[in-house]
């Protein structure tokens, strides 16, 4: 490949339909029916209610993407549970089906996967080009069949997202990698274990190299590996299939290649970002929310910030309760690889700090264009100045309602939180981005007392206004 950096796709752009499975989400059904209204859907929100109650967190999208790709590395049946019903997952499943993987969704959150009859090693399904995690099929197919051709992830909207480290890893394992006609083509006679140092901590590269190395000959050492919970989850799943992966969760991962992987039943870990989003929803609305079915340790960086901001946070078993009884206090935060504060929570904390007392500084150190929601938030009266990768936030007393557009997945969710605090009616367009990573977002918020609805016409919007007064 040339030395030019590749512009990776963000996890935030997609527009898909899904075919060939047994159980459909409401969103998928609408897609299959060709209902154009999907694109016209907005959130209508009347802010002002503190969120109160309990909310159940689903499986981690980013872990599930890696685990599902890993599942095609065995010819035996795998059963993956706690899969979130979100678009990115459904697109990956569709791409797997496009190469002959049999995907049977036994219920909304469980899939049975049989990859014994894969009929092609070229994944160029139109939709897969738009999700970042399509690259996991490269590592999985290369490991199993020593050949893979996967469409390059497309555009980019949170900054440059390269894949040079993935390619460096595959090459170190003995594969040749080239890019032709929009496909990344990886090929190897044999894959042999290698010592690989990642120049930057990359979740995607760590998982992808782990996948390929699981079926390589000999030992692979990945240094400066990502330590995110989803890296550990994929390693645990590989091990449950008979792989030999040690050290996941530390910055050195050792993989001893095995000849074959076998079937497994595996539940995906809870989604730390969905959990974090609801924790900040409690904080920003001065609410009292218990997020259930979480691993509190995965949430520690967010818990620490919420405490600095004046919230009470109580951990108990697999739940975390966030109580915010007074105005939030300012603080500073810098996004970092795990266990640092996650970049996927940066918009949600920034929106909360935009209402805190005093000046806060938010530094984005992972991606270079992740403040696009700031212009939208300005419509609500926020006072944020962005300089390079830093946002200087002067807290304001309140937000005013506005008509907004979601720029991407996490920023979209953050704008929802902002609207939940604003008096009067707000709308958010392009909520398809939010559906990429949050299952039933508005339903879960409604159960906590939020006045939010998905509407797809002016008539629906008027009805909502009449209903909530
Ligand atoms: C994953 C997550 C995403 C999250 C991000 C950071 C998935 C599907 N997505 O994305 O939600 O925001 O981790 O926690 O799990 N980099 C390179 N070369 C590479 C790969 C990455 O320079 O080959 C750089 C990126 O430009 C970025 C940094 O490394 O600056 C981290 O990226 P990475 O951890 O790879 O993010 P993703 O795996 O794309």
Mutation test residue for ligand 1: of 161, 166, 198, 342, the one with most atoms within 8 Å of CB: 161
Among protein residues, the one with the nearest Cα to ligand 1's atom 33 is 202
* CA 11 to ligand 1 centroid distance, Å: 10
pLDDT value at 249 more than 80: yes
Residues 258 and 336 in one domain: no
**Residue 271 CA: distances (Å) to CA of 74, 210, 295, 304, 425:** 25, 21, 9, 18, 30
Q: In angstroms, what is the span from residue 227 Cα to ligand 1's centroid?
A: 12
The owner of tokens 């392009």 is 430
62 Cα nearest atom in ligand 1 = 15
CA 204 / ligand 1 centre spacing (Å): 6
Atom nearest to 132 CA in ligand 1? 8
Work out the pLDDT band at 124, boundaries 50, 70, 90. confident
Q: Is the pLDDT of residue 53 over 80?
A: yes
CA distance 179 to 152: 8
298 and 206 share a domain? no
Q: What is the mean pLDDT of the chain?
A: 90
Q: Token pair for residue 96?
A: 């797997």
What is the reported pLDDT for 132? 78
CA of 443 to the centre of ligand 1 (A): 30
pLDDT at 154: 54
Ligand 1: residue whose CA is nearest its atom 13: 203
The answer to whether residue 63 scores a pLDDT higher than 60 is yes
Name the residue with tokens 């890993």.
Answer: 70
399 part of a folded domain: yes
Specify the residue with its C-alpha closest to ligand 1, atom 32.
Answer: 202
* pLDDT value, residue 159: 54
Contacts of residue 393, Cβ cutoff 8 Å, sequence gap at least 6:
330, 350, 353, 354, 356, 359, 360, 361, 362, 382, 383, 384
Among 267, 283, 313, where does a domain finish?
A: 267
Give, using CA atoms, the residue closest to atom 39 of ligand 1.
Answer: 204
Let me know if residue 259 belongs to a domain: yes
Q: Which of 88, 203, 206, 336 to mutate to test the pocket of ligand 1 (most atoms within 8 A of CB)?
A: 203
Distance, first Cα to last Cα, the chain: 59
Average pLDDT, integer, range 419-424: 94
Per-residue pLDDT tens over the stretch 129-146:
777 788 899 999 999 999
Domain of 143, in residue numbers: 61-267
% of the chain beyond a pLDDT of 70? 89
Whether pLDDT at 127 is above 90: no
The verdict on 47 and 127 lying in the same domain is: no
Question: Token pair 């950096």 is at which residue?
Answer: 5
CATH number at residue 419: 3.65.10.10
Strand order in the sheet with 312-316: 52-56, 288-292, 319-323, 312-316
Task: Give the pLDDT band of residue 17 (cuts 50, 70, 90).
Answer: very low
The verdict on 355 and 412 lying in the same domain is: yes
In testing the pocket of ligand 1, which one of 164, 277, 366, 413 has its CB within 8 Å of the most ligand atoms? 366
118 C-alpha to center of ligand 1: Å? 28
Q: Count Cβ atoms within 10 A of the Cβ of residue 267 and give its class: 0-12 exposed, 13-18 middle, 19 or more buried.
A: middle
Asked, for residue 5, whether it belongs to a domain, the answer is no
Q: Closest ligand 1 atom to the C-alpha of 65?
A: 8
Residue nearest to atom 25 of ligand 1 (CA): 161
**pLDDT at residue number 16:** 32
Distance 144 CA to ligand 1 centre (A): 24
Res 469: pLDDT = 81
pLDDT at 420: 98
Spell out the residues 6+ positions from residue 242 whose beta carbon is closer than 8 angstroms to its own: 258, 260, 261, 262
| 282 lies in the same domain as 356 | yes
Compute, in angstroms, the gap from residue 286 CA to the centroid of ligand 1: 33
* CA distances from residue 165 to 71, 205, 212, 429 in whole angstroms, order as listed: 23, 6, 14, 35
Nearest CA to ligand 1 atom 22: 162
Task: Assess if residue 25 is contained within a domain.
Answer: no
Quick check: is 29 in a domain? no
Query: Of the listed 156, 198, 320, 418, which one is catalytic?
Result: 156
Section 321-327 average pLDDT: 96
**pLDDT confidence of residue 134:** 85
403 and 292, same structural domain? yes
Q: How many CB atoms lie within 10 A of CB 454?
A: 18
| CA of 132 relative to ligand 1 center, distance in Å | 9
Q: Which residue has the higher pLDDT, 160 or 248?
A: 248
Number of folded domains in the chain?
2
As for ligand 1, residues whose beta carbon falls within 6 Å of it are: 11, 62, 65, 132-133, 160-166, 200, 202-205, 226, 342-344, 366-367
Whether the pLDDT of residue 9 is over 50: the answer is no
Distances (CA, A) of 121 to 91, 154, 310: 17, 19, 53
Q: Is the pLDDT of residue 302 over 80?
A: yes
Q: Which whole number is the average pLDDT over 281-309?
A: 98
pTM (2 d.p.): 0.91
11 vs 436: CA distance, rounded Å: 8
Tens digits of per-residue pLDDT, 196-240? 999 999 999 999 999 999 999 999 999 999 999 999 999 999 999
Query: For residue 4, is it within any domain?
Result: no
pLDDT at 309 over 90: yes
The reply to whether 219 and 70 lie within a common domain is yes
Q: Which two tokens stand for residue 60?
A: 């981690």
Residue 430 CA: distances (Å) to CA of 43, 408, 409: 9, 8, 10
* For the CA of 368, the nearest atom of ligand 1: 30
Question: Which pLDDT value is given to residue 126?
Answer: 74
Q: Which of 52-61, 71-80, 131-140, 148-157 has the lowest mean pLDDT?
A: 148-157
> From CA 464, how far away is CA 419, in angstroms rounded?
15
- pLDDT band for 39, please (50, 70, 90 cuts): low
Residue among 243, 199, 188, 198 nearest 219 (CA):
243
Residue 47 falls inside a structural domain = yes
Active site residue 156: yes
- Smallest CA-to-CA distance from 89 within 64, 111, 57 is with 64
Residue 137 sits in the same domain as residue 242: yes
Ligand 1 atom, smallest distance to 88 CA = 8
Q: What does the alpha-carbon distance between residue 83 and residue 69 come to, in Å, rounded to a whole number?
A: 13
pLDDT band at residue 37 under the 50/70/90 scheme: very low
Please tell me whether residues 296 and 253 are part of one structural domain.
no
Looking at the fold, whether 442 and 332 belong to one and the same domain comes out as yes
Q: Do 229 and 315 fall into the same domain?
A: no
Quick one: pLDDT at residue 15?
31
Give CA–CA dist 74/140, Å, rounded: 10
Is residue 384 domain-resident? yes
User: Where is average pLDDT lowest: 37-41, 163-167, 388-392?
Assistant: 37-41
Q: Say whether both 274 and 147 belong to one domain.
A: no
Domain end residue (candidates: 236, 267, 298): 267
* Domain boundary pick from 267, 300, 315: 267
pLDDT score of 160: 57
Q: Which two tokens stand for residue 281?
A: 């929803």
């Amino acid at each position: 490949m040339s030395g030019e950096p590749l512009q990776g796709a963000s996890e935030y752009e997609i527009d898909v339909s899904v075919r060939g499975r047994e159980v459909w989400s409401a969103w998928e059904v609408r897609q299959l029916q060709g209902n154009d209204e999907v694109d016209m859907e907005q959130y209508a929100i009347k802010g002002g209610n503190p969120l109160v109650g309990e909310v159940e967190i689903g499986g981690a999208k980013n872990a599930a993407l890696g685990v599902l790709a890993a599942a095609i590395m065995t010819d035996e049946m795998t059963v993956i549970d706690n899969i979130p019903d979100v678009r990115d997952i459904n697109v990956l499943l569709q791409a797997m089906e496009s190469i002959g993987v049999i995907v049977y969704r036994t219920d909304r959150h469980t899939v049975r996967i049989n990859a014994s009859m894969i009929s092609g090693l070229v994944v160029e399904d139109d939709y897969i080009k738009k999700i970042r995690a399509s690259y996991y099929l490269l590592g999985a197919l290369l490991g199993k069949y020593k050949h893979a051709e996967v469409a390059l992830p497309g555009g980019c909207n949170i900054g440059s997202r390269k894949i040079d480290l993935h390619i460096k890893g595959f090459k170190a394992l003995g594969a040749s990698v080239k890019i032709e006609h929009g496909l990344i083509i990886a090929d190897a006679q044999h894959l042999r274990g290698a010592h690989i140092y990642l120049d930057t901590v990359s979740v995607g590269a760590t998982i992808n190299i782990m996948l390929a190395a699981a079926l390589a000959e000999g030992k692979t050492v990945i240094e400066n590996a990502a330590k995110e919970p989803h890296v550990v989850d994929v390693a645990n799943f590989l091990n449950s299939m008979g792989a030999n992966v040690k050290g996941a969760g530390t910055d050195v991962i050792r993989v001893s290649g095995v000849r074959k992987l076998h079937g497994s039943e595996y539940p995906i870990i809870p989604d730390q970002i969905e959990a974090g989003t609801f924790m900040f929803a409690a904080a920003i609305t001065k609410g009292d929310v218990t997020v259930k079915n979480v691993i509190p340790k995965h949430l520690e960086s967010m818990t620490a910030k919420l405490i600095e901001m004046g919230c009470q946070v109580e951990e108990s078993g697999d739940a975390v309760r966030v109580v915010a009884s007074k105005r939030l206090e300012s603080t500073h935060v810098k996004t970092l690889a795990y266990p640092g504060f996650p970049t996927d929570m940066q918009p949600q904390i920034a929106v909360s700090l935009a209402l805190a007392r005093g000046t806060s500084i938010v530094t984005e150190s992972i991606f270079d264009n992740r403040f696009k929601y700031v212009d939208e938030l300005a419509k609500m009266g926020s006072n944020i100045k962005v300089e390079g990768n830093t946002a200087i936030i002067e807290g304001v007393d309140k937000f005013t309602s506005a008509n907004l557009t979601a720029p991407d997945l996490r920023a979209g969710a953050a704008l929802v939180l902002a609207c939940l605090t604003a008096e009067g009616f707000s709308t958010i367009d392009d909520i398809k981005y939010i559906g990429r990573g949050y299952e039933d977002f508005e339903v879960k918020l409604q159960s906590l007392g939020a006045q939010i609805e998905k509407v797809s016409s002016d008539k629906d919007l008027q009805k909502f206004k009449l209903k909530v007064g």
